[in-house]
Amino acid sequence: MTTITMRMPEDVIEDLKRLAPLLGFSGYQPLARAYIGQGLRADLERLEGDTVSTLIASLRRQGVGEEILEEALREATQSK
């Protein structure tokens, strides 16, 4: 873990403190970390999805057949 300092509105901190125990967190900081992690993972998944779409479009332009693309996508999604 790395220590960081962030400035946040007081009302956000108060809301985090109020919600943390209701959601099973030991305090507001673990809840804040969870929210940041969820948002980060969602954005990474969205951006990586865009990369996959771009790659597929490029492969189509280069003449790779649909059957091969579908099989590759099937393999890729099963390995996750």
Q: Where are the domains of the chain?
A: 11-78
Q: Could you tell me the CA-to-CA distances from 9 to 14, 19, 47 in Å, in that order?
A: 9, 16, 29
Check if the beta carbon of residue 31 is closer than 8 Å to that of residue 19: yes
Q: Could you tell me the CA-to-CA distances from 42 to 22, 35, 72 in Å, in that order?
A: 23, 11, 23
Q: What is the pLDDT of residue 70?
A: 87
- Give the tens place of pLDDT for each residue, 26-44: 999 999 999 999 999 988 8
Average pLDDT by consecutive 10-residue portion of the chain (80 residues)?
94 98 96 95 83 87 92 77
Q: Could you tell me the CA-to-CA distances from 57 to 6, 13, 60, 73, 77 in Å, in that order?
A: 40, 44, 5, 13, 18
